[in-house]
Amino acid sequence: MTYPLVSVALGGALGATFRYLVGLAMMRDGFPLAVLTVNVIGSFVMGLGTVLLARMGLPHWQPFLLTGVLGGFTTFSAFSLETLTLVERGQVGMALLYVALSVCLSLLALATGLFIARGLT
């Protein structure tokens, strides 16, 4: 149990560092290009990594690379994988519900957190 936790933690630290560096390199006013970039790259690498690690018989690398590094780089990659997994299982309605709930509830939760925090100051 300890090894996967350490792997995820180390991978997450690396992924978050990469995300920060991409943000610095692509710092712009206006459109959040850096966030879009890490989300797209992370989703692409999640797709590659999921299949290649399985084909190469290296599932023990998943906690470090997929959950840790990519999770730290962008949680959107995990969201993308879960959505397409539902589609591949033929659960298109469930996938659409998952997307709608994830986006809407996350935006609502963020707005609520902002509203509460701003009211405290």
Say how far apart CA 37 and CA 119 lie, in whole Å: 33
Binding residue per annotation — 71?
yes
Binding residue per annotation — 74?
yes
Question: b/e string for 61-86 if b means 16 or more Cβ within 10 A?
Answer: bbbbbbbbbbbbbbebbbbbbebeeb
Say how far apart CA 81 and CA 118 lie, in whole Å: 34
- The contacts of residue 65 (CB under 8 Å, 6+ apart) are 11, 49, 53
Residue pair 70/18 in contact (Cβ under 8 Å)? The answer is no
Residues forming the annotated binding site for Na(+)?
A: 71, 74
Residues forming the annotated binding site?
A: 71, 74
